[in-house]
Copies of this chain bind each other. A is one copy, B any other.
């Protein structure tokens, strides 16, 4: 298959796909090495960008898909009348963050960390398809462990979970930690070198 044939076939297949198509599946379908297919997809994506197309070929959740260029969101929204009101509450988002960074994680572990019962929030996130049961912990009760889904990656526009910004980036700075530490000191006296 020439490069041009490969590109055309990819364009056709990706046009009818309803979810991101992994390069492996494309390779199987077109009987070409996955690396070659991947490279061809990247070339296509770059080509669309360079030509200033209204669509892009994005890699999300491990696969390629056509989507509209972000610039054109106003037109697309007006046309598709998309309901973007499904915003998650702060509590749900923070729980989602815990699942994303600590997966696999049990409800009880999340609950322990957040200091509140999280059953309702976890169920909501599961119903929305952002998290799913990925296994069970060992030990008594064998609680269900949760992880994030491909839909979560899609919604965040990520290809892989390790593209999330490192959680360390969100740790408060040293001065905040020191303050917290001070506030929590068990003894009132304070030993030594208070600044």
A residues adjacent to B (C-beta < 8 A): 4, 7-13, 15-19, 25, 29-30, 52-55, 66-69, 71-72, 75-76, 78-80, 82, 115-116, 120, 123-124, 127-129, 137-141, 151, 186-187, 191, 194-195
Q: How many copies does the complex hold?
A: 2
A10 to chain B, nearest CB (A): 7
- Whether the pair A71, B8 counts as a contact (CB closer than 8 A) is yes
The 7 A-B pairs at the shortest CB distance, nearest first, are namely: A11-B54, A139-B194, A115-B127, A8-B54, A12-B72, A12-B54, A12-B68
A16 partner, pick from B29, B76, B138, beta carbons under 8 A: B76
Report B-chain residues with C-beta under 8 Å of the C-beta of A151.
Answer: 116
The answer to whether A116 and B128 touch (CB under 8 A), given A9-B75, A12-B72, A75-B29, is yes
- Whether the pair A140, B191 counts as a contact (CB closer than 8 A) is yes
The distance in angstroms between the C-alpha atoms of A116 and B76, with both chains bound, is: 21
A111 to chain B, nearest CB (A): 10
- Which of chain B's residues has its CB closest to A193's CB? B139
A129 partner, pick from B54, B71, B76, B116, beta carbons under 8 A: B116
- Whether the pair B54, A15 counts as a contact (CB closer than 8 A) is yes
The answer to whether A16 and B54 touch (CB under 8 A), given A9-B75, A75-B29, A194-B139, is no
Report B-chain residues with C-beta under 8 Å of the C-beta of A52.
Answer: 4, 8
Report B-chain residues with C-beta under 8 Å of the C-beta of A18.
Answer: 120, 123-124
- Whether the pair A75, B13 counts as a contact (CB closer than 8 A) is yes
The distance in angstroms between the C-alpha atoms of A195 and B8, with both chains bound, is: 55
Question: Given A17-B79, A25-B82, list of 17 further CB < 8 A pairs?
Answer: A8-B52, A8-B53, A8-B69, A12-B54, A12-B55, A13-B54, A13-B75, A15-B67, A18-B124, A29-B79, A29-B82, A30-B75, A115-B128, A116-B127, A140-B187, A140-B194, A141-B191
